[in-house]
Amino acid sequence: MNGNQIIPTYTLNLEGEPCPYPVVYSLDVLEKLASGEILEIIADCPQSFQAVPEEAKRMGYVLLCEPVQEGPIIRFYILKP
């Protein structure tokens, strides 16, 4: 999917949050979303760069595009199917 077409429903800002909270918060929010809603996750803890998408995919959520990295900050767009 082209990034410009993604319209997120919510933004979860995880800047400054250390482990394990990025993964815990992300999965918690994703679970509470309605089907078809998109979560935008902003993170800056490098460990969450791998753990968040990996765990989201494992739980059946869809990573809509490659994570967008702006310097030390990363953004994920995840769909609840």
Residue positions annotated with a catalytic role: 19
Which two tokens mark 41?
A: 């996750």
The CB-of-31 to other proteins minimum distance in angstroms stands at 5
Measured between alpha carbons, how far is 34 from 15 in angstroms, rounded to an integer?
24
Q: Does 11 bind other proteins (CB under 8 A)?
A: yes
Please tell me the count of residues contacting other proteins according to CB under 8 A.
51
For residue 76, the surrounding DSSP H or E stretch is: strand 73-79
Tokens encoding 67: 């994570």
Site residues, other proteins (CB under 8 A): 3-4, 6-21, 23-25, 27-33, 38, 40, 44-47, 49-51, 54-55, 58-59, 65-73, 75
